Structure 1
Amino acid sequence: MHAGDDTTPAARLQMLHTEYLQPGRGPQNERVTTSTTPAAPLRLAVYDHIKAAVDEATAHTRTVAPGAEPRPTELASLYEWVVASTAHLDTARQQARDALIYRQGLEHAILMGDTAVIRRHPCPACSTWSLFWRTERRQAICVNRHCTDGDGTSWSWTLAQIAHDHIARGLATVSRAT
């Protein structure tokens, strides 16, 4: 990841805060107020998402590293803090941390309307590039007609499963290369 990379989870979280928190940008699925009540000065769904992501990352870090330094107030530094605070953990716990961060990055992108991030991942079952995001199910669906369960139903994957698979594949590639 290099400076200016807007595809990192931290950059996406910061972009949600600076670009999508104010009304008028992003998906138009916000709660609508009546004409007698003024509109909220910010997008409540985006605010709730940012708060939940920060709270989850903080809780995870505090659970596995109770002695961690205080969390930074800048959103752009949140994930750096999580990684630095948990660098001493064993490989399995670092993998779980990385999957949490990666999943949150996918969530941030999808909230900003970028569902194509799912297409950049192979299906965990058949390894083909056949995943599509289904908003109504909040899952990725494999459209490969040969990738079905015993009943002929297409496999579907949560963002947590995709993130776990992505991180595991990355570790497998690194271990094969060394």
Structure 2
Amino acid sequence: MGMGDADSAAIRMRLIEAEFTTPRRTGDSGRRARSTEPAAPVDLGILAYMQASVDEVVSHTRAAAPDAPPPPATASAVYHWMDQNTAHLDAEKRQAAEVIVYRQALEHALAVGDESVVRRHPCPDCGCWGLFWRASARRAACVNRHCSGEGQAAHTFTLAQLARRHVASRESAVRRAT
């Protein structure tokens, strides 16, 4: 697996953990009505997102390598755990694991507001560098008017599609180099 992808996903997961799961202090800005129930000290949606990401990596690794040792306790460490336990698999299974890790790295970046990660990918249809993130649709869209055609909606792509294409192009470059 591309160690850069596992590192990137782990770093972004640590960033999410540090920024969004630490309790925030709010200054007292004067008098206000007291709530009957205290607010959750962290964003529960982010915790659920992080757990879903970890669960996906663990379940994929367990399916591909049932004899793998237990996963690590920290969320960001599961990517290296997956890498270590899927390194011996055939190319197709390793590539499937790489796609998951790369897609999650993109998702983590978007979760913290970094939409530039989408612009670093060429359009899968026309090859131009005109992709941008449509948060409402949760898809990347090509801005090249020649790609979509006159009067048609822009072509859109899921993060999974971008990840598959990225990993496949990297693998083909490695095969051509050897």
Q: TM-score range by the shorter chain?
A: 0.7 to 0.9
- Contact conserved, 1:134 with 1:141, CA < 8 A, in 2? yes
| CA spacing shift, 1:127–1:36, aligned 2, 3 Å | same
Deviations, residues 82-101 of structure 1 (Å, cap 9, x unaligned): 01111111111111100000
Tell me the secondary structure at the aligned position of residue 40 of structure 2. coil
Deviations, residues 24-67 of structure 1 (Å, cap 9, x unaligned): 5xxxxxxxxx9322111111111111000000100010111111
Higher share in helix: 2
Which residue of structure 1 lines up, in the alignment, with residue 104 of structure 2?
104
2 CA distance for matches of 1:140 and 1:23? 32
2 CA distance for matches of 1:143 and 1:19? 32
In structure 2, what residue type is equivalent to 1:98?
Answer: E
How far does residue 18 in structure 1 lie from its aligned partner after superposition? Answer: 1.6
How far does residue 23 in structure 1 lie from its aligned partner after superposition? Answer: 5.3
2:64 maps to 1:69: no
Which residue of structure 2 lines up, in the alignment, with residue 138 of structure 1?
138
1 CA distance for matches of 2:154 and 2:3? 37
RMSD of aligned residue pairs (Cα, Å): 2.4
Which residue of structure 1 lines up, in the alignment, with residue 36 of structure 2?
36
Which residue of structure 2 lines up, in the alignment, with residue 13 of structure 1?
13
- Contact conserved, 1:149 with 1:155, CA < 8 A, in 2? no
The structure with more radius of gyration: 2
In structure 1, what residue type is equivalent to 2:162?
Answer: I
Note the 1:103-122 alignment, pairs <5 A: 103-122=103-122
| CA spacing shift, 1:175–1:150, aligned 2, 3 Å | farther
1 CA distance for matches of 2:101 and 2:110? 14
| CA spacing shift, 1:150–1:160, aligned 2, 3 Å | farther
| CA spacing shift, 1:48–1:141, aligned 2, 3 Å | same
Tell me the secondary structure at the aligned position of residue 146 of structure 2. coil
Q: Which stretches in structure 2 are left out of the alignment for 5+ residues?
A: 25-33
How far does residue 154 in structure 1 lie from its aligned partner after superposition? Answer: 1.5
Which residue of structure 1 lines up, in the alignment, with residue 91 of structure 2?
91
2 CA distance for matches of 1:131 and 1:23? 35
Count of aligned residue pairs for this structure pair: 168
2 CA distance for matches of 1:169 and 1:74? 31
- Contact conserved, 1:118 with 1:132, CA < 8 A, in 2? yes
1 CA distance for matches of 2:100 and 2:110? 15
Q: TM-score, normalised by structure 1?
A: 0.86
Tell me the secondary structure at the aligned position of residue 147 of structure 1. helix
- Runs of 4+ in structure 1 deviating by more than 3 angstroms, as ranges, are none
2:56 maps to 1:56: yes
